[in-house]
Amino acid sequence: MKNESRVVSLNRGVRQQLQTGKKLIETGIFKQPVLGKVSVTAAGLVDDVIGNQKHHGGKDQALYLYSGDDYQWWSEETGRTLPPGTFGENLTISGFHSAALRIGDRFQIRDVLLEVTAPRIPCATLAARMGDPGFVKQFRQARRPGAYARVLNPGKLQAGDVVEYIPTPEAHPTILDLFELWYARERNADLIHQALKAPIAARTRANLETWLDN
């Protein structure tokens, strides 16, 4: 990470309906920047909406983080400026590349302490939100997944807050390692075992354990 990272934006979703294929779903993926201080609990941003709680949210995926650097790349790639919250993230943070984070890396922001737990795997909801059925493939090829995090210590945040990056002392897999593992035709058992020793999100852990059994 760069010498100084900051919170670019805190983004909160409201419940909206979205057409995904033949289904009309309720989603909180449309995140909008919030002004002023926002309370963060073990469940995430207060009043944030999570539409599909089977696959999203929970204490191990309380917040989704995306990088201002990755936004710059996407703006150059798409030829248009994408505002914070476009990818459904709760925190847009400057000065880091999401794929390089390791499971167990931490962010200290004021009193709030976050721990990286898993990569974001794109789904049809993201494609529908972007208005492009092919966006899941594009997101996968970009290899800029962003990261989920758990809240180890709650508090209040606001845009402009300084972010302290605390790397894990362990050689845990990177976000990109696990992102690529998801799509691999042959899954690396050594990498899976390595990941299971890390403080990964419960949903990711369940998937890895299933892959080992098959």
State residue 40's pLDDT score.
Answer: 97
State residue 53's pLDDT score.
Answer: 66
State residue 214's pLDDT score.
Answer: 74
Checking if the pLDDT of 144 tops 60, the result is yes
DSSP assignment of the chain equals --S-EEEEEEEEE--EEEEETTEEEEE---EEE--S-EEEETTEETT---S-TTTS-SGGGSEEEEEHHHHHHHHHHHTSPPPTTTT--SEEESS--GGG-BTT-EEEETTEEEEEEEEPPP-HHHHHHHT-TTHHHHHHHHT---EEEEEEE-EEE-TT-EEEEE--SS-PPBHHHHHHHHH-SS--HHHHHHHHTS---HHHHHHHHHHHH-
State residue 22's pLDDT score.
Answer: 80
pLDDT in tens, 95-142: 988 899 999 999 999 999 999 999 999 988 888 888 888 999 999 999
**What is the set of domains in the chain, with CATH numbers?**
5-213 (2.40.33.20)
What's the whole-number mean pLDDT along residues 64-85? 94
State residue 1's pLDDT score.
Answer: 63
State residue 58's pLDDT score.
Answer: 86
> Based on the number of CB atoms within 10 Å of its own CB, is 124 exposed (0-12), middle (13-18) or buried (19 or more)?
middle
pLDDT in tens, 158-178: 999 999 999 999 999 999 999
State residue 112's pLDDT score.
Answer: 98
Residue 157 — very low, low, confident or very high, per pLDDT cuts 50/70/90?
Answer: very high
State residue 113's pLDDT score.
Answer: 98
Task: Provide the sign of the torsion angle of the four alpha carbons 191, 195, 201, 202, taken in this order.
Answer: positive
Q: Whole-prediction pTM value?
A: 0.93
Give the distance from CA 32 to its chain's centroid: 16
Checking if the pLDDT of 2 tops 60, the result is no
Checking if the pLDDT of 92 tops 90, the result is yes
Measured distance CA(95)–CA(165) in Å, rounded: 10
